[in-house]
Amino acid sequence: MSTGNIIRTLRKERGLSQSVLAAEIGWERGTIAAVEGGHDRPGAELVQALATFFQTTTDHILGRDGVKQPAAVQTEEEAEMLARFRDATPEARAAMLMTLRAMTRGN
């Protein structure tokens, strides 16, 4: 996928117009339109601004990888839950998963 198509897809997934995106990142709507239309290539500053805004990597914006967003940083609680899960017996793991699934049904 081209850089312009990636930017268009990210923008549309969030329900943003080109004008709103441009205003949010401090660029002109015409610049966004030119890049999305394939008439212009974005410079490093624009790519960085878009990656920051969309919470993804510059590589993704440029179509260099298949990763949409970088891995999330674990909180201390998440790390503890994972450590406890890994230390548990297979039976305890199954019970933990059943409990989590029951607690999050419908959310």
Mean pLDDT by 10 residues, the chain (107 residues): 94 94 96 96 96 92 72 78 90 92 77
Classify domain 3-61 at the CATH topology level. Answer: 434 Repressor (Amino-terminal Domain) (1.10.260)
pTM over 0.75: no
pLDDT single digits (tens) 55-86: 999 999 999 876 555 556 678 888 888 889 88
**Contact present, 42 and 3 (Cβ < 8 Å):** yes
Looking at the chain, which residues constitute the CATH 1.10.260.40 domain(s)? Answer: 3-61
SS (H, E, C) the chain: CCHHHHHHHHHHHCCCCHHHHHHHHCCCHHHHHHHHCCCCCCCHHHHHHHHHHHCCCHHHHCCCCCCCCCCCCCCHHHHHHHHHHHHCCHHHHHHHHHHHHHHHCCC
d(CA 19, CA 72): 29
